[in-house]
Amino acid sequence: MATVRLVEELSRRALGRYAVAVIGEEPRLAYNRVLLSSVLAREVSQGEIELKPAQWWRAHGVTLMVGQRAVAVDSDIRRVRLANGATLPFTKLVLATGSRAIRLNVPGMDLPGVMTFRDLTDVAAIEKAAETHRQAVVIGGGLLGLEAAYGLAKAGLQVTVVHLMDRLMERQLDARASALLKAAVEAKGIAVLLNAETAAIKGHQRAEAVALKDGRELPADLVVVAAGIRANADLAAAAGLQVGRGIVVDDHMTTSKAGIFAIGECAEHRGICYGLVEPAYEQARVLASRLAGEDARYDGSVMATNLKVSGVDVFSAGDFIGAPGTEIVEFSDAGLGSYKKLVIADGKLVGAVLFGDTVDGLWYLELIRAGSSIAGIRDDLMFGRAFVERSHPKELAA
Q: Count the Cβ atoms, other than its own, within 10 Å of residue 135.
A: 17
Helix (H, G, I), strand (E, B) or coil at 133: coil
Report pLDDT for 157: 93
Report pLDDT for 310: 81
Tell me how far apart the alpha carbons of residues 138 and 88 are, in angstroms, rounded to a whole number: 41
DSSP character at residue 254: B
pLDDT at position 375 over 60 = yes
Say yes or no: domain 103-227 is CATH 3.30.70.260. Answer: no
Q: Is 103-227's fold the same as 311-397's?
A: no
- Give the helix ranges, DSSP H, for 80-170: 120-130, 143-154
Q: pLDDT digits over 308-347, tens only?
A: 888 899 999 999 999 999 999 999 998 888 999 999 999 9
Report pLDDT for 318: 96
Q: Which helix (H) or strand (E) holds 162?
A: strand 158-162
Antiparallel, parallel or unpaired: β 348-355 and 304-309: unpaired
Q: What is the mean pLDDT of residues 85-103?
A: 96
Contact 178, 166 (CB under 8 A): no
Rg (Cα) of the chain, in Å, rounded? 23
Q: pLDDT digits over 2-30, tens only?
A: 999 999 999 999 878 999 999 999 999 99
Give 23's strand partners.
65
Tell me how far apart the alpha carbons of residues 229 and 392 are, in angstroms, rounded to a whole number: 44
Helix (H, G, I), strand (E, B) or coil at 13: helix
Report pLDDT for 224: 97
Antiparallel, parallel or unpaired: β 135-139 and 222-225: parallel
List, in order, residues 6 or more apart from 188 with CB less than 8 Å away: 150, 153, 310, 311
Question: How far lies 160's CA from each of 53, 137, 199, in Å?
Answer: 37, 5, 16
Report pLDDT for 396: 62
Q: What is the mean pLDDT of residues 104-131?
A: 94
Q: What is the mean pLDDT of residues 352-379?
A: 95
Q: What is the mean pLDDT of residues 124-137?
A: 92
Tell me how far apart the alpha carbons of residues 114 and 200 are, in angstroms, rounded to a whole number: 11
Report pLDDT for 16: 84
CATH architecture of structural domain 311-397: 2-Layer Sandwich (3.30)
Q: What is the mean pLDDT of residues 344-367?
A: 97
Tell me how far apart the alpha carbons of residues 139 and 104 are, in angstroms, rounded to a whole number: 9
Which of 360, 362, 278, 355 lies closest to 310 in space, CA to CA? 355
Q: pLDDT digits over 197-249, tens only?
A: 999 999 999 999 999 999 999 999 999 999 999 999 999 999 999 999 999 99
**Protein fold of 2-100+230-291:** FAD/NAD(P)-binding domain (3.50.50)
Which of 296, 277, 284 lies closest to 94 in space, CA to CA? 284
What is the residue-averaged pLDDT of the chain?
Answer: 95
pLDDT at position 398 over 90 = no
pLDDT at position 179 over 70 = yes
Where do the domains of the chain lie?
A: 2-100+230-291, 103-227, 311-397
Q: Please, which pLDDT band fits residue 393 given cuts at 50, 70 and 90?
A: confident
Q: pLDDT digits over 142-159, tens only?
A: 988 998 999 899 888 999
- Say what percent of the chain tops pLDDT 90: 88
